[in-house]
Chain A
């Protein structure tokens, strides 16, 4: 179309040729593409960057103050805005650079972040000896090592304290793992069984069992055994806690304040400015592994997202278990058994349109119908001993996966139907002509051929379910679940438990956490994880769909 050069025909003709308008429409595509890829790049950069050990800068300000921390953001703003914050800017200067420094040391200064205006900075240094400590509470610590104490007595460690620190960190780490094992696994089991005993007692009471019922004695014996186990564990824990509190790191902040950091509260200690590339890479993957495999710390703003990944995956798997058979059966019924008439067409349109109903509506339905109606009835029938504390009459894993199954079943139906409709008539007729019954035709030839279509539907359903948050907020997701819905206590899979979810994690940490600024990098990382999962699923679905089309084109030819 632009081969006919309108070079000499003037602007009027150029406009009439429609070429500018074609370019304008092309521009909208470019703009959309920029948005999509820009967004993906933004999430990727920020999400991946989260784990990289940032260098620590020490800024000296013109009033003599020193600021030590990571440079987390910088921007150019108009002088008026800065003046509005009460910062003096010389007349005539209209634009000001400013840096957001993550200064950490929340226990010392009260906040993690600080804006510094560039024109107040007189000196920028990257001191080698500065160290960063990731702590279990109060966020990061930035400062310099002064010494090490063991049971309150200073330890001489020569010129370089770092081998000593590393050794002690390792020891603390080992102790912490043992404590965690006792607290989470073994004590958790004891508590779970104690709760079980309480319910059994209540059950007996509800049955109006006489006081000399053998059940009571049994329970008392079990309880005594459990109490004894608990005591042993508690004693063991006590010694471990004593041991873990042995070492203290003496550190000095850039303003000269000396702090004692107990090793028990330190997660990771490193010297970012002294690290080589190799050490940084090790640190990077270490942090990334922590993010994927560890529990969250500090109100979800630090640490990992493992429970959220686990919850998301488990919920989606359960949902698939519900949605696949039902979606496929409904599709087979609609396509193969139902009489093709107006009613079927209406149903098809209705099913199709349900995919467009806002997800929050499904959440409302799930809460009202599954949780309160069905869950409430189940509780009254099967769990009277736990009442008034609800078992299934409260949001939980089962209801979440059922709600999402309902939300995604139209996707599976539509995809399976499409797959069924693509199977050439000849194949069906061939099978029937050979004497197979309708069921045999379906089971042996049609359905196997439609499997890729079902897979596509299922993958799309899973991708949609993994990203949904609004309905889950009503039917089972929590910001911090005390225990995973799958554990070593019978019956292992706890369908009534609440769970954590990546999408909700993003919402919660990004918008409900007290320290949004500090949590932001983590939210980017979580977003990246979720985007990767969902895009992979979608690309898988698209690939399968394309393969499928080729296969049928071949079959039809």
Chain B
């Protein structure tokens, strides 16, 4: 356009640079803000990613006899098989090369043959071999990790925690057809079905002499009565307290063997339908649930359920989506409540019990599989065939315990009487079943919101109408900032006062608090009735629009009166303690930190939000409308209700929505003024646990990228979405209203 000097050019360059900085800066700030949403989503999404199973191919690892048992080490680098004949072998999974081998019964007399092989709980790494002469040997795999040259080297070894000489189960020397056992540092138990049709139980306790640390074993043998038919499957829990026996006809018998000398038959039940056969059973990690696989390809979960009379009965808790062919093997995970199942057609399925999910089904290459096992960390599995070939699988299955049903539905957790909503994210034991139901927390959030809105909405909305429409401007100039300052009060202070000052006060003056709900309006109405009847000289001292000021002492007096009256009523009619009376008369339990207290405290926190926005909405109703209404003879109140309120209603709606959004996310008050127990109960006198407080409490302790961590992120995402949607709705309504006013 015009000739530019260097100075001009520099100015233009600066101009462009400035624009660029603003553009880049502005966009990046906006992106950073939006990042919150995407990062939350990014952390949550893996929860819902399915599992994958990738075969690492078939390899050879010749064994003396067809493997009856297989296990993997911690790192899934070493395989361990025990053949039907009692021969064992450790081998490197990568190439099948042998690391150690031998015979479980090597130390026994050469004539002793293994007739039954059984695995203990996978986390104990024990294996049992029963013999033809009625004895049993306990083996335990151990893996020594060393780091020569900074490289991990694992040396496998087979140990005999209960001696190299087999333990006698059958004194008569009957051959053991089928066994199930468990062993820990203190005791070992083995149940065995003998060739002559009996069911025997052996218990061995380890006694260490105080004098010379010499170890002796004390044995105890019992025979269990067996009339459920021929034994087809046996399983014992890791605590050595329960024994499950399945007959060839599919009848499951459940024995309580906590007293080894006197086992008790607790329940006997048919676990499959007519004409259906049980093909494999296994205990889930923790030893509470029994998994039963049948020849229809189904796996069902059973555990003893206690009824109201303290009797235990076995209940079918859930049945998983079936595999195409009869179930051949079930391999539970070591610590989580998941398992793998293989059918006879070679389909490998991964399941999780709590989430009631069949995560993945994958055909495998190995055929005539004789044993299946999961690695301790559940990131690998192995299947071995009769011919000694084996196939390993890489498993990615980080969060099997989460499903829509597990998060939002009722779930029948282990040892519970019925399906329930429970939030219980952690416990001391490793094989604990985490309970991730977001329902109790969401319920708590809604409960807090409900009671706080109940308190805040009338106060804030009515107050806003009065302030904007009836109040005199000088007073309004004081009241508005005062209530806005209320919004700035840190919620931690409100929570502290609610928990330590208001809660005991409410407990002491419970009757008075409820009484004031009635007394306050009556007192105000009485003053409204009395005021115009006062002599004019008094009346004219107070100009119009100062009623609120006049009512301050009235309200104070009314509150004081209700509290005094409340005490009187409590003493005269309620035996001196309202909370006690509530309990005896209605069975209502009273927590000191309850929803009433929280409702008042959060209500206090959201009143300013609702008040300010509704007041703005009411105040900006065009004067022409109200003037017109008044000119047509409507009373000020009629004008307020039928014209002002109606016109401003969208604004008030959006104010309430924004207030609600604030109540939903309020953290410190609920954290401090409730007991934080995740119960679902509408009772106003009980506490709850809200989503936000739960996050604040559990987040710092949760392990990064664990399911718990991601579920907490999900809770945060839910809060984010709810408040964001509510606020957007409110904002859209408000903008519409603004356009409407502009056109009026």
Please give the residue numbers on chain A whose beta carbons come within 8 Å of chain B beta carbons, in ascending order.
Answer: 1-3, 5-7, 11, 14, 16-37, 39, 42-43, 75-81, 83-84, 94-95, 325-327, 329-334, 336-338, 347, 349-354, 356-365, 367-369, 372, 395, 406, 409-410, 413, 437-440, 442-443, 463-464, 466-470, 473-474, 503-504, 506-507, 510-511, 516, 520, 523, 527, 530-531, 534-535, 537-539, 542
* Cβ < 8 Å to A, chain B residues 549-574: 549-552, 554-556, 567, 570-571
- Neighbouring B residues of A504 by C-beta, 8 Å: 492
Contact of B501 with A42 in the complex, beta carbons under 8 Å: yes
Scan B19-47; emit 1 where CB is below 8 A from any A CB, else 0.
10111011101101111100110010000
B638 on the A face (CB < 8 A): yes
Q: Contacts A23-B547, A25-B470 given: A334-B26 contact, CB under 8 Å?
A: yes
Contact of A468 with B547 in the complex, beta carbons under 8 Å: no
B488 on the A face (CB < 8 A): yes
- Neighbouring A residues of B552 by C-beta, 8 Å: 30, 33-34
Q: How far is the CA of A14 from the CA of B11 in the complex (A)?
A: 73
Contact of A39 with B672 in the complex, beta carbons under 8 Å: no
- Neighbouring A residues of B619 by C-beta, 8 Å: none
Contact of B668 with A443 in the complex, beta carbons under 8 Å: no
B723 on the A face (CB < 8 A): yes
- Neighbouring B residues of A26 by C-beta, 8 Å: 466, 470-471, 524, 547-548, 550-551
Scan B257-278; emit 1 where CB is below 8 A from any A CB, else 0.
0000000000000000000000
- Nearest chain B CB to A224 CB, angstrom units: 31
Contact of A353 with B668 in the complex, beta carbons under 8 Å: no
- Nearest chain A CB to B222 CB, angstrom units: 51
Q: How far is the CA of A503 from the CA of B367 in the complex (A)?
A: 65
B649 on the A face (CB < 8 A): no
Contact of A358 with B43 in the complex, beta carbons under 8 Å: no
Residue in contact with A358 in the complex, picked from B483, B500, B548, B667, CB distance below 8 Å: B667
Residue in contact with A14 in the complex, picked from B524, B529, B550, CB distance below 8 Å: B529
Contact of B33 with A409 in the complex, beta carbons under 8 Å: yes
- Neighbouring A residues of B550 by C-beta, 8 Å: 26
- Neighbouring A residues of B723 by C-beta, 8 Å: 353, 356-358
Q: How far is the CA of A2 from the CA of B550 in the complex (A)?
A: 14
- Nearest chain B CB to A31 CB, angstrom units: 5
- Nearest chain B CB to A92 CB, angstrom units: 11
* Cβ < 8 Å to A, chain B residues 691-741: 692, 695-696, 699-700, 704, 712-713, 716, 719-720, 723-724, 727-728, 731-732
Residue in contact with B33 in the complex, picked from A19, A410, A464, A507, CB distance below 8 Å: A410
Residue ID in chain B nearest A80 by CB atoms: B576
- Neighbouring B residues of A76 by C-beta, 8 Å: 567
Residue in contact with A350 in the complex, picked from B11, B34, B39, B491, CB distance below 8 Å: B34
Residue in contact with B636 in the complex, picked from A1, A369, A542, CB distance below 8 Å: A1
Q: How far is the CA of A175 from the CA of B142 in the complex (A)?
A: 60
- Nearest chain B CB to A522 CB, angstrom units: 12
Q: How far is the CA of A464 from the CA of B463 in the complex (A)?
A: 25
Residue in contact with B482 in the complex, picked from A24, A33, A75, CB distance below 8 Å: A33
Q: How far is the CA of A474 from the CA of B697 in the complex (A)?
A: 9
B493 on the A face (CB < 8 A): yes
Residue ID in chain B nearest A27 by CB atoms: B524
Contact of B499 with A510 in the complex, beta carbons under 8 Å: yes
Contact of B554 with A337 in the complex, beta carbons under 8 Å: no
Contact of A337 with B508 in the complex, beta carbons under 8 Å: no
Q: Can you list 25 A-B contacts (CB < 8 A)?
A: A7-B533, A18-B635, A31-B520, A32-B459, A34-B556, A35-B486, A95-B567, A95-B571, A329-B22, A333-B27, A333-B29, A334-B26, A347-B30, A349-B732, A358-B666, A360-B692, A363-B695, A406-B33, A439-B17, A463-B488, A468-B490, A469-B668, A473-B696, A506-B493, A516-B500
Residue in contact with A363 in the complex, picked from B462, B532, B547, B696, CB distance below 8 Å: B696
B166 on the A face (CB < 8 A): no
Q: Contacts A18-B638, A439-B15 given: A372-B25 contact, CB under 8 Å?
A: no
B544 on the A face (CB < 8 A): yes
Contact of B695 with A356 in the complex, beta carbons under 8 Å: no
Q: Contacts A327-B29, A360-B695 given: A369-B35 contact, CB under 8 Å?
A: yes
B454 on the A face (CB < 8 A): no
- Neighbouring B residues of A21 by C-beta, 8 Å: 637
- Neighbouring B residues of A23 by C-beta, 8 Å: 524-525, 527-528, 531, 547, 551
Contact of A474 with B700 in the complex, beta carbons under 8 Å: yes
| Range of interface residues on B (Cβ < 8 Å) | 35 or more
Contact of B500 with A22 in the complex, beta carbons under 8 Å: no
Contact of A78 with B571 in the complex, beta carbons under 8 Å: yes
Contact of B524 with A24 in the complex, beta carbons under 8 Å: yes
Contact of A409 with B668 in the complex, beta carbons under 8 Å: no
- Nearest chain B CB to A413 CB, angstrom units: 8
Residue in contact with B497 in the complex, picked from A1, A42, A474, CB distance below 8 Å: A42
Contact of A18 with B637 in the complex, beta carbons under 8 Å: yes
- Neighbouring B residues of A406 by C-beta, 8 Å: 32-33, 36
Residue ID in chain B nearest A464 by CB atoms: B488
Q: Contacts A33-B552, A367-B699, A470-B696 given: A28-B462 contact, CB under 8 Å?
A: yes
Q: Contacts A28-B458, A361-B716 given: A22-B470 contact, CB under 8 Å?
A: yes
Contact of B466 with A25 in the complex, beta carbons under 8 Å: yes
Q: Contacts A79-B576, A470-B696 given: A28-B463 contact, CB under 8 Å?
A: yes
- Nearest chain A CB to B665 CB, angstrom units: 2
B496 on the A face (CB < 8 A): yes
Q: Which of B54-62, B314-322, B656-664 contacts A (4 or more CB under 8 A)?
A: B656-664
Scan B447-482; emit 1 where CB is below 8 A from any A CB, else 0.
000000000001110110111001100000001011
Q: How far is the CA of A34 from the CA of B668 in the complex (A)?
A: 23
- Top-4 shortest CB links A-B: A18-B637, A358-B665, A333-B26, A80-B576
Contact of B490 with A332 in the complex, beta carbons under 8 Å: no
Residue in contact with B466 in the complex, picked from A28, A35, A326, CB distance below 8 Å: A28
